[in-house]
Amino acid sequence: MDILKKIEQYRSQEEKLRWEGTFADYLKLVKEKPWVAQSAHSRIYNMIRDAGVEEENGNKVYSFFSHEMFGLEEALEKLVEEYFHPAAKRLDVRKRILLLMGPVSGGKSTLVTMLKRGLEAYSRGDRGAVYAIKGCPMHEDPLHLIPQHLRDDFYKEYGIRVEGNLSPLNTMRLEEEYGGRIEDVLIERIFLSEDKRVGIGTFSPSDPKSQDIADLTGSIDFSTIAEYGSESDPRAYRFDGELNKANRGLMEFQEMLKCDEKFLWHLLSLTQEGNFKAGRFALISADELIVAHTNETEYRSFISNKKNEALHSRIIVMPVPYNLKVSQEERIYEKMIRDSDVADVHIAPHTLKVAAMFTVLTRLREPKRGDIDLLKKMRLYDGENVEGYNSSDLNELKKEYQDEGMSGIDPRYVINRISSTIIRKKVPSINALDVLRSLKEGLDQHPSITQDLREKYLNFISVARKEYDEMAKKEVQKAFVYSYEESAKTLMDNYLDNVEAFCNKSKLRDPLTGEEINPDEKLMRSIEEQIGISENAKKAFREEILIRISALARKGKRFDYRSHARLREAIQKKLFADLKDVVKITTSAKTPDEQQLKKINEVVARLIDEHGYNSTSANELLRYVGSLLNR
C-alpha cells in the first residue's frame, strides 16, 4: 500500500503544479518570474548550475553529473562552460548542433539521458517551469503572440527578447477562436516528458530509402483534407515530428552522421535560423537543443566528405573520452554491479581496483618524458602522491596528448568479464585473481583487439597482478600485525625511548643491569629503513616524532603507534618482516597445529571484521599470500 500512497501523492502534487490562465495572466507571471520565459539552452544550463557546483583540484565539479558520470570532470566542465553557458547567454554557440564524440561505452548516451531526465524533473520545479499556448501540439512559447512591431517595447518593459514567429496553426487559432484578442489566448503550464512527447524527442535514423522526412517535421493528415479543403490548411497537418515535439526542450539525434543528407539540412536551418520548413507553410519556429553523438572513426569519415562542409561549421564537437582515474573507474563498476542482478555476490576488496588499473593502463598513452613510466602516470592521474613529482608534472603530462582516453578497453567489457567470473565460479564470492584470469581469457574473444594489442594488454594484466600481489601482502601483514598488538606497542615504546635519548643526547638505562647505554642506532634504523628514511633524513624524522609527542601531550593526549601514519607503517613492516617466517608456516601448513590454527582464525576474523572480506575470500587471500611468501 505504501507505493500506492506515493503514486497518489505524486498525482496530487502534479495537480497542484498545474496552472492555466490567459495571456494577460501569463504576462503578470513573467513580470514576477522572468525566468519562465528563458530559452531551451538557458533552461538546461540553469538546471545544471542549480544542482550545485564545487571546486575540486582546480576543476569545476557539477553535482548534476556527479552521481552517474565518473572521472570526466574536465570534459564536463568544458561542455558546460564552452557550450551551455554561452548558449544560455544567447551567443552564437546556441546556433550549433552539439555533437558528443567519444569511444564506445564512454558515457555519451548516459550524458544525454541525464539531460533528458533532468529536464523532466526540472520542469516540475519553480525555476524550470515551462508555459505554452494551450492546445498547441508544439507547446509553443506564449511570447510568440507578441507582434513583431511591439517586441522592442516589450524588451524595454520586461527585459526579455522574443525570438521566433507564431506557428501557422496558432496564427489561425488566434483569429478564429479568439477573434485576434491576444490577451485572451489561453496559456497552460506544461511538464517536459519524453514518454508523452512533450519538449523531449529522440530521432533514430533507419534505412534512408524507407525513412520519411515526416518523422522529423510532421505530415499531412489526409483524412482531414475533405473537411478542411486544402493541404495548406494547418488543421490538416499533424505537427507530430520529432522537431515539433521537442520544441522548448531537447532533441537527441542518434547516429546523426549515418543519416541521409535531406534530414541534416533541416537541422541546419533549425540551429542557424531557429526555424524549419514543413508542408506548405511558412517557416516554423522552434527553440530546442539538438544533441547528437558519434564515435571518432565516423566523425573523421564525415569531415573528410566535401559534401558535408556546410554542416562542419554548424557543429560544436565536444570530446567525451574514457575516464583515466582508477578510483573513478572503480565507481563505474560499482554502479554497474549495483544496477545488476549480481549485486548480492561478494566481491573481495581490491578486486574492482585491480580491474580498474588494467583498464586505465590500456587507455593511457606512453609518457614522452623518460623519467615517468605508465604506472607512475596512472598514480599521478588518480591524485596519488608520487615522490619527486608535483601538480606541474601532472599538467605537463595531460598536455602531451590531446586524444588520450579515446581508445582502450571499455567498462562494458570489464563488467561482462566480471559477470562471466561470477556465473562460472558458482560461489557467492570472487576475488581479483578470478577477474584478472577472466580478463585475460576474454582478450581472445574480443573482435577489435589485434595480436599486437593483445600482447600489450597481457603485459598490463601482469602489471595489475604485481600490484595486487603487493596489496594482498600488505593486507595480510596488517591483519597479522594487529594480532600481535602487544608486540607492536612494545616495539613502538622501545623505539620512542631510543629516539628521545638520541634527540636529547642522553643515555638509556638497561632494565636488567641498570647500567647506562647509548641509544640503539641499529634498532632505530631497522624501523626507519622500512619506509625509506635515509641516513641524512633520520635526524629530522626523529625530531618530528618528538614534536608530535609534545603537541599531543599539551592537549592531554597520549602518543601511540596510530598517531603517526608513516611511523605506524614502519612498525607494521618491521613486525611483518620479523614475522614473515611465522606467516609462511601458518598460511601454508597443510595440517596446521593448534597454535597455527588459532592464529589463522584470528587473522581471518580480522580480515572479515575490519577489511571487508567474507570467510571464503579471506581464506583464499591467506592461501595466496602464503604461496607468494614461499616462492
HSE-up of residue 30 (Cα within 13 Å, Cβ side)? 24
Q: Residue 383 has what pLDDT? A: 87
HSE-up of residue 66 (Cα within 13 Å, Cβ side)? 14
Given a contact cutoff of 8 angstroms between Cβ atoms, the answer to whether 141 and 185 are in contact is no
Phi, psi (5° rounding) for residue 596?
-65, -40
Q: Which of 52, 53, 65 is nearest to 113 (CA)?
A: 65
Given a contact cutoff of 8 angstroms between Cβ atoms, the answer to whether 527 and 495 are in contact is yes
Q: Which of 343, 261, 361 is nearest to 302 (CA)?
A: 261
Q: Residue 589 has what pLDDT? A: 56
Q: Residue 147 has what pLDDT? A: 94
Q: Are strands 97-101 and 289-294 parallel, antiparallel or unpaired?
A: parallel
Q: Residue 590 has what pLDDT? A: 60
Residue with cell 504576462: 27
Domain assignments of the chain as residue spans, ordered by start:
40-319, 484-588
Given a contact cutoff of 8 angstroms between Cβ atoms, the answer to whether 361 and 460 are in contact is yes
> pLDDT tens-digit profile of 56-98?
777 889 999 988 899 899 999 999 999 999 999 988 888 888 9
Contacts of 43 (CB under 8 A, 6+ apart): 119, 122, 128, 130, 249
Q: Residue 88 has what pLDDT? A: 93
Least confident of 260-269, 313-322, 614-623: 260-269
Given a contact cutoff of 8 angstroms between Cβ atoms, the answer to whether 479 and 607 are in contact is yes
Q: Which of 20, 311, 23, 288 is nearest to 164 (CA)?
A: 288
Check whether 130 has a pLDDT greater than 90: yes
Least confident of 60-69, 561-570, 604-613: 561-570
Element of type H or E holding 250: strand 250-254
CA–CA gap between residue 606 and residue 484 (Å, rounded): 12
Least confident of 76-85, 99-108, 129-138, 303-312: 303-312
Phi, psi (5° rounding) for residue 213?
-60, -20
As its CATH architecture, domain 40-319 has 3-Layer(aba) Sandwich (3.40)
CA–CA gap between residue 175 and residue 180 (Å, rounded): 5
As a whole number, mean pLDDT of residues 173-199 equals: 94
CA–CA gap between residue 295 and residue 448 (Å, rounded): 15
Q: Which of 335, 376, 372 is nearest to 352 (CA)?
A: 335
End-to-end Cα separation, the chain, in angstroms: 61
SS3 at position 304? coil
Q: Which of 182, 146, 187, 178 is nearest to 163 (CA)?
A: 146
Confidence of residue 447 (pLDDT cuts 50, 70, 90): confident
Q: Residue 82 has what pLDDT? A: 93
Q: Residue 555 has what pLDDT? A: 86
Average pLDDT value for the chain = 87
CA–CA gap between residue 500 and residue 455 (Å, rounded): 55
**Grid cell locating 191:** 511538464
**Grid cell locating 271:** 540551429
Q: Residue 483 has what pLDDT? A: 60
CA–CA gap between residue 91 and residue 251 (Å, rounded): 20
Residue with cell 485576434: 180
As a whole number, mean pLDDT of residues 245-264 equals: 82
Q: Residue 237 has what pLDDT? A: 85
SS3 at position 61? strand
Q: Which of 196, 215, 199 is nearest to 207 (CA)?
A: 215
**Grid cell locating 15:** 495537480
Q: Residue 343 has what pLDDT? A: 72
Q: Residue 174 has what pLDDT? A: 95
As a whole number, mean pLDDT of residues 204-223 equals: 76
* Beta strands, E only, 498-561: 508-509, 516-517
Least confident of 58-67, 306-315, 348-357, 604-613: 306-315
Check whether 274 has a pLDDT greater than 90: no
Least confident of 190-194, 229-233, 242-246: 229-233
As a whole number, mean pLDDT of residues 137-151 equals: 95
> pLDDT tens-digit profile of 284-311?
888 999 998 888 888 888 888 777 777 7
As a whole number, mean pLDDT of residues 114-122 equals: 95
Q: Residue 630 has what pLDDT? A: 67
Check whether 462 has a pLDDT greater than 60: yes
Q: Is the dihedral of CA 607, 608, 612, 614 positive or negative?
A: positive
Given a contact cutoff of 8 angstroms between Cβ atoms, the answer to whether 320 and 106 are in contact is yes
Which residues is 219 bridged to in the sheet?
Answer: 238
Given a contact cutoff of 8 angstroms between Cβ atoms, the answer to whether 607 and 621 are in contact is yes
Confidence of residue 338 (pLDDT cuts 50, 70, 90): confident
Check whether 499 has a pLDDT greater than 70: yes
Least confident of 22-31, 191-200, 489-498: 489-498
Provide the phi-psi class of 387: left if phi over 0, else alpha when psi is between -120 and 50, else beta.
beta
Contacts of 431 (CB under 8 A, 6+ apart): 348, 351, 617, 620, 621
As a whole number, mean pLDDT of residues 523-545 equals: 90
Q: Residue 337 has what pLDDT? A: 86
Check whether 199 has a pLDDT greater than 90: yes
Q: Residue 230 has what pLDDT? A: 76
SS3 at position 311? helix
